Amino acid sequence: MNDSILSLRGLRKSFGATEIIRGVDLELRPGERRALIGPNGAGKSTLFHLVSGNLAPTSGEVIFDGQRITGWAPQRINRLGLARSFQITNIFPKLTVFENIRLALMRHHERQYTFWRVIDRLAGLRAATETLLEKVRLQAQAQTLAGEMSYSEQRSLELAMTLASDPKAILLDEPMAGMSSEETHYTMELIREVTAGRALLIVEHDMDVVFALADRISVLVYGEVVATGTPEQIRNHQGVREAYLGEEAAA
């Protein structure tokens, strides 16, 4: 029996004559935190695009929560419970933090008519917005314009907006990029908290984050998964150390 929440099977993607994803198999268990690491150009972002529906694979399958979602549009995949963190450009900088989160909730609930049938729907929306604000510790900034917050606060907001659809699985693409070490630590703990009970697939270049956060790590090199294991197994994997981790892992 397959108890994976997300399965990638024989996934391939070519751009013109160049095959970038060359037969990826990957199984993500419910609630598991998985990091995807690999050198620049290995195909990590491309793989994310294939899972989130932003790109269609050349061949292979993506199964999410028991359904074959290969070729589905991103929004349809999102509604099924697979959320990808959107880039900061998807935050409305001229709206307040509260308004941004409320908008994300409204977008998710607009198709769930029962939600709108409840008499106190606005109160419900307000409460749900406040819960998310609290989750990402942005209550004090509720009325701040999103565009006026620091970079890491904007990433926290983005996380809240990702959680608005109450996803079973979350894809995060380099969430710590451009952060100071203090911000990185803060955001890592926040990600750990808010993704508890949800599957997480994260691409991240900061190896301290990867090894501290992930239950398991998969290593992608030239479009192929060359190793999957616990942080300990990956740290001690000779091929991975030589090909990618280098001195960082040996330290």
Ligand X SMILES: Nc1ncnc2c1ncn2[C@@H]1O[C@H](COP(=O)(O)OP(=O)(O)OP(=O)(O)O)[C@@H](O)[C@H]1O
Q: Should residue 172 be labelled a site residue for ligand X when binding is judged by CB under 6 A? A: no
216-221 and 199-203 strand pairing: unpaired
Taking the least distance from each CB to ligand X, the nearer of 49 and 109 is 49
Shortest Å distance, C-beta 54 to ligand X: 10
Shortest Å distance, C-beta 148 to ligand X: 29
Shortest Å distance, C-beta 179 to ligand X: 16
Stretch that binds ligand X, among 34-42, 88-96, 103-111, 138-146 (CB under 6 A): 34-42
Contact 112, 165 (CB under 8 A): no
DSSP state of 5: S
- What's phi and psi for 4, nearest 5 deg? -80, 145
Stretch that binds ligand X, among 23-31, 38-46, 110-118, 130-138 (CB under 6 A): 38-46
Taking the least distance from each CB to ligand X, the nearer of 54 and 96 is 54
Shortest Å distance, C-beta 55 to ligand X: 8
Pick the binder of ligand X from 41, 66, 93, 178 (CB under 6 A).
41
Pick the binder of ligand X from 26, 43, 52, 165 (CB under 6 A).
43
Contact 24, 204 (CB under 8 A): no
Q: Which amino acid is at 112?
A: Q
Pick the binder of ligand X from 5, 8, 20, 128 (CB under 6 A).
20
Pick the binder of ligand X from 44, 102, 109, 168 (CB under 6 A).
44
- What's phi and psi for 12, nearest 5 deg? -135, 145
Shortest Å distance, C-beta 36 to ligand X: 9
Site for ligand X in 46-105 (CB under 6 A): 46
- What's phi and psi for 89, nearest 5 deg? -60, -15
What whole-number distance in Å separates Cα of residue 115 and Cα of residue 93?
Answer: 27
Counting beta carbons within 10 angstroms of the beta carbon of residue 174, is it exposed (0 to 12), middle (13 to 18) or buried (19 or more)? middle
Shortest Å distance, C-beta 138 to ligand X: 28
Taking the least distance from each CB to ligand X, the nearer of 99 and 174 is 174
What whole-number distance in Å separates Cα of residue 35 and Cα of residue 32?
Answer: 10
Alpha helices in 74-226 (DSSP H): 74-80, 97-109, 113-117, 121-135, 151-163, 181-194, 207-213
Please give the structure tokens belonging to residue 164: 């608005």
Site for ligand X, rule CB under 6 A: 15, 20, 38, 40-46
